[in-house]
Amino acid sequence: MSHQFVLGVSALYHDAAAAILCDGKLVAAAQEERFTRIKNDPSLPVHSIQYCLQAAKVPTDAPITVAYYEKPLSSFVRVLKTFSAIGTKGITTFPRAIEESLRGKLWVSYRIDRALKQLGFTPAEQTLFAEHHMSHAAAAFYPSPFESAAVLTFDGVGEWATSSIALGTGRKIDLLQEMRFPSSLGLLYSAFTSACGFGVNSGEYKLMGLAPFGEPRYREQILAELIDLRDDGSFTINLDYFDYLAGRRMTSKKFDQLFDGPARQPEAPITRRECDLARSIQVVLEEVVLRVAHHAHALTGSDHAVLGGGVALNCVANGRLLREGPFSELWVQPAAGDAGSALGCALWAWHEVCGGEREDPAGKDSMLGSLLGPLPASASPNETFPALGRPYEQVTDSAKLSTRVAALLADGGILGLCSGRMEFGPRALGNRSILADPRSPSMQRRLNLSIKNRESFRPFAPIVLEERSAEFFELDGPSPYMSFVAPVRGAVPAGPEHAANPAPTDQMDLSARLDQVDSPLPAVTHVDGTARIQTVGAHSNAKLHSILSAFEQLTGCPVLVNTSFNVRGEPIVATAEDAYRCFMTTEMDFLVIDDCLFNKADQPQWTGTRAKVVAD
């Protein structure tokens, strides 16, 4: 019996990825950066495509339907019209933008066919092009646990759409309304990301983490000068304050004048201004999302909602929407950004073009825990590491391994865990994670400075046994994908700054502010007393659940720190070799690869390449 394969591809902008369906069922998905070790790699995801084809056991002569995550010709028309409208302002950037289209996306179907042939497969039987926001909508709705739901998408820009409202029912998604370029919530947030000295399309989560240190003193300027916000959440942007149409920089000189100076230089000290800018735009973003949600609820009549697009990774806004919004249940695609669009366009192709039916979700999502990538190695570590002279202890009894890991963590150790299939999306969900004790007051700073080599203000996420989460966090329901921020029970946020009227240029001692937080879980509590929570069920990730249970038996605490297994500027580790290198070139104490436990004290001196720490 022959199978129907649909290969979804997202590429040539940022976060390239591939995903594959077999007879409509999700089999595998992966981001190209995990293979190439280039953060946010935008290139055609040949490695990801190869992995997906192998994981789905696609015969080399099988007909394959390829779906691409946007319509390149429509995007090209937008670029042409945009540069035509701005005239001479785009004279320096127009040639590069045109060349990128003419050499890249407009020929993407031929490039994918060539990649398939190079990998030994036949060219695509057909290549389909989904609209960008339909890819986001499909990634959000079809894997969700809902038979019907309002579908909300927010990002920078697709072809023309920047946000959309749709209604998903069964195997059909009906677009109801959209907001169009150049008015964009994603680009607005990215403009402030750039103004605060962080990278666009990579530093937005830093801006979200910085926001609680500031006050929303620029909120009124944003609403009065930058956007004309309406009751339904739509808005018109004032382009006098932005320069992203020309592609030279995100903001204009007029923006600098309104917000007390030019953009912060990367790696420069963070001042009161950046903290207040971050808080102000975060508050505005939340306002927009809540207004759109209320409008979508009235428009669709649905009590369920799903979220997609890069803005849906803003888990602070998600948490507020869950608490204050009109929907009784909310589900967020864990790979909500462009990487997840590879999955979305494949699902769109299967349901909307191929006519494939959607199985009754019966209240469960079909993301397989988002554990969709490859295993750490093709061979067991105990077949490779002895030959390299890297000693370890093999613990084949899973319960004993969990007990050993829990004891090491309870004793203050920091442990890297590389086991099972790699996560798809930006969050490490326990298979490529660094674990630590959340009760330690010094652990947050130790992890940031000695392991991750990143900014001191960056918070860490807790993982908690799903059945115990309500005892420690004010969260109503599960959060298996770190989609929501909620208050930590018993936490007292840091007080305001001592200075009554601090100047915008005053530098902020962010570490000192974090030290003021009083919490039973200080390593995972942010300055405002909240945390980005991952709940772990016994069936969603048995190994992680077992470790948490063992840690609870030892300490009475069913919570651990969970941060991604990487250093700043490097993608999350993919292979056993990636994990060992990161382990040896940071101050991690222990490493688990499958059932092999490595102690740093027993390892030979590292002579290989080091984990690459770069500004991100």
For the chain, report the end-to-end CA distance as a whole number of angstroms: 48
Measuring CA to CA, which residue among 138, 131, 48 is closest to residue 424? 48
d(CA 377, CA 357): 35
d(CA 549, CA 544): 9
pLDDT score of 169: 97
d(CA 433, CA 454): 16
d(CA 474, CA 210): 22
Q: Are 200 and 251 in contact (CB under 8 A)?
A: no
pLDDT tens digits along 334-349:
999 999 999 999 999 9
In one-letter notation, the amino acid at residue 59 is P
Query: Could you identify the residue written with the tokens 């960008």?
Result: 132
d(CA 409, CA 588): 11
Query: Could you identify the residue written with the tokens 């305001």?
Result: 496
Q: Which helix (H) or strand (E) holds 287?
A: helix 272-300
d(CA 129, CA 288): 30
CA 6 to the chain's CA centroid = 24
Q: Where are the beta strands (DSSP E) in 155-278?
A: 161-169, 172-180, 227-229, 235-237
CA max distance for the chain = 74
CA distances (Å), origin 570, targets 423, 441, 443, 573: 15, 27, 21, 8
Tokens (6 digits) for 138: 């499909």
For each of the domains in the chain, give its residue range(s) and CATH number, in order of start: 5-136+335-370 (3.30.420.40), 185-332 (3.30.420.40), 381-494+509-602 (3.90.870.20)
pLDDT score of 497: 62
Measuring CA to CA, which residue among 248, 239, 234 is closest to residue 295? 234
**Helix 46-55 with 108-118: angle, nearest 10 deg:** 60
Strand order in the sheet with 329-332: 172-180, 161-169, 148-154, 304-308, 329-332
Q: Which helix (H) or strand (E) holds 583?
A: helix 576-584
Measuring CA to CA, which residue among 155, 32, 12 is closest to residue 571? 32
Q: What is the DSSP letter of 590?
A: E
Torsion of CA 320, 325, 330, 331, to 10 degrees: -50
pLDDT tens digits along 372-426:
999 998 777 777 787 788 999 999 999 999 999 999 999 999 999 999 999 999 9
d(CA 319, CA 488): 13
Which segments of the chain have a pLDDT < 50? none
